[in-house]
Amino acid sequence: MPGFGGKQLEMDGSIDDKSEDSPSSSGSSQPQNLSTVVHTITAVPTAIPNQPVQVQSVIQPTQQSVIQAAGQIQTVQVEEDGEGHLVRTDPDIEKRREILSRRPSYRKILNELSSAEAPGIAKIEEDKEEEAAITSIQTTIPSYVQTSGQYGGYCIKEPTEPPSHQLPIIYGPPVPLPPARMQDSSKVRGIGDASQDSSSYKKVTAGQTIQIAAANQNELTTQGLQTITMTNAGQGAVTAAAMPAGTTIVQYTQGDGSQQFVTVPVSISPAGEVQAYQIRAPSSLPAGVVMATPTGITSPQQLAEESARKRELRLMKNREAARECRRRKKEYVKCLETRVAVLEQQNKTLIEELKSLKELYCHKAETE
DNA sequence: ATTGGGGCCCGTCAATCGGA
DNA sequence: TCCGATTGACGGGCCCCAAT
């Protein structure tokens, strides 16, 4: 894959850029032209006060070695290639190179870095939203289906506790929100009653996020519902062709992590209000709520609807994936910036140490 | 007040890779 | 081989700011 394939190798405090920037040249994680000379570099904490790091080595230590050197002796094994370059051959580095040469991923890169090298750097949280959703369910109606162009919200929490066996639905009256950027789908919350009566419809406004909270965690796990993402393409001008009018896809994550999709009949008023929708546990899907993979499709119209539905699902998932990817990329860049700052500070420290050692040496030579 | 540029974010497409 | 995940590239919209 183009892009970050070779870049992340620079993050381990490279010893020999040549060997790391061109992993393909050697064809393996180990340089081919290494001599048999093996150096052992020992990082020794010195007694100089107010020096955060003192590393007695010709090799620029990695961030991990810095941290370890502050408290203990660290041994780093290096080898010398044919041109006099020192090449570190830690098993960890070998492993990392192998991993990174297989597939670059911001998540993998950062997690590798944060676990192995920089305990201070936060890991990319995997599926944070999913974990956070254990006690809540969010449904999102994309803002592009809004026809009024206004931002609204649902911020009123109803104090009534839903019956434990029912899936609560949260709702409330729209409230004005500050102007948001174009893509922001004003996420709001509310709470309400969850009725299994199919005649009981809740009114929400398209372009909003409504959160469905469980009375307790067990309720959700027993029902197998953790997250719900609601995408409406019914009457949105952008995606009117993508799905038949009045259909909304509801994505939810089950307790075992698998994702399921259902379609829910929805109608949207010209003002952008969802006139009716139902959300139920998958085990009790009523008439009118159809699983996303229907069987027995015969007519061309059904085929078109099915393909449109699949396309909508694909786009929705890719939208989420792109969002996550950008988030990881930002974390990655932040990590790089942190690394740069650390290395700059380290470089400064080493320069200072070199200067003081030179002065000490000159002074000693003069006195002799 | 208008305008143009830069930055940021998003959605979408396409390519690639790894696992089943 | 197929499918899902990942990510670069592209285009578009919005916001901010400086210049006019």
Find the Å distance, CA of residue A344 to C1' of nucleotide C18.
34
Query: What length is written for chain A?
Result: 368
A364 touches strand B (CB under 7 A): no
C1' (C12) to CA (A321) span, angstroms? 19
Span A138-168, pLDDT tens digits: 333 333 233 222 222 222 222 223 333 333 2
Q: Is residue A265 exposed (0-12), middle (13-18) or buried (19+ Cβ within 10 Å)?
A: middle
pLDDT tens digits for A318-345? 998 999 899 888 888 888 888 888 999 9
Q: Is the full-model pTM beyond 0.85?
A: no
Rounded CA gap, A333 and A93, in Å?
A: 21
Give tens-digit pLDDT for A228-260. 434 333 333 333 333 333 344 444 443 333 344
- CB burial of A68-87 (b: ≥16 within 10 Å; e: otherwise) equals bbeeeebebebbbbeeebbb
Give the other-Cβ count within 10 Å of A285's Cβ: 14
Q: Give the position of tokens 């790089």.
A: A336
Inter-CA distances, A272 with A148, A176, A327, Å: 6, 15, 30
pLDDT score at A115: 55
Q: What is the mean pLDDT of residues A40-45?
A: 28
CB proximity A1–strand B (7 Å threshold): yes
Instruction: Please tell me whether any atom of strand B lies within 7 Å of the Cβ of A103.
Output: yes
Q: Strand, helix or coil at A210?
A: strand
